[in-house]
Amino acid sequence: MPEAASIDAVDRAIIDSLQGGFPLCERPYAEVAGPLGISEDQLLERLQAMLDARVLTRFGPMFQVERMGGAFVLAAMRVPEADWQRVLEVVNAFPQVAHNYRRESDRNCDFNMWFVLATETADGIAAAVRSIEEASGLPVFPFPKLQEYFVEMKLAVRT
């Protein structure tokens, strides 16, 4: 397993300050950086470093993709332990994949890889599923959304 990346107090403050809002103005990064006591360039460098180190897996807005003609589903796979890392890298290489996580199997469900697929069109889901299946050699099981819930979860980054 890869070693955990380290972040400092400024990185923690950046993460905490950017959960749930982002200014809409000519220079939003400068506006965010000021109260943190850093420059706009330093903020951008730190965000990129956290993305590169996978401290952050993504940084960007959340959209209601269905309102824009797109689609998303929760998908699952049964990945053999011996093939986990290869399949993880294959799946994560697809730009349509977000929120990929491992879940231990229980007696009711033996899916161990779960991820969200988001595409620009409703037809894109089936195409992404086929592409992931072809690239991984394993079946993908998409689970369409039956009901939507909004959970605004903000987590403070602690030392």
Per residue in 109-155, pLDDT (tens digit) is 789 999 999 898 989 999 999 999 999 999 999 998 887 776 666 67
Q: How many helices (H) and strands (E) does the chain have?
A: 5, 4
What domains sit in the chain, N to C, each tagged with a CATH number? Answer: 9-52 (no CATH), 65-143 (3.30.70.3460)
Q: Kindly tell me the burial class for residue 100, based on how many C-beta atoms sit within 10 Å of its own C-beta (0-12, 13-18, 19 or more).
A: middle
Per residue in 44-92, pLDDT (tens digit) is 999 999 998 888 877 777 777 778 888 889 999 999 989 999 999 999 9
Q: Could you tell me where the DSSP H helices lie in 71-122?
A: 84-92
Planar angle of CA 114, 118, 121, nearest 5 degrees: 145
What is the reported pLDDT for 99?
76
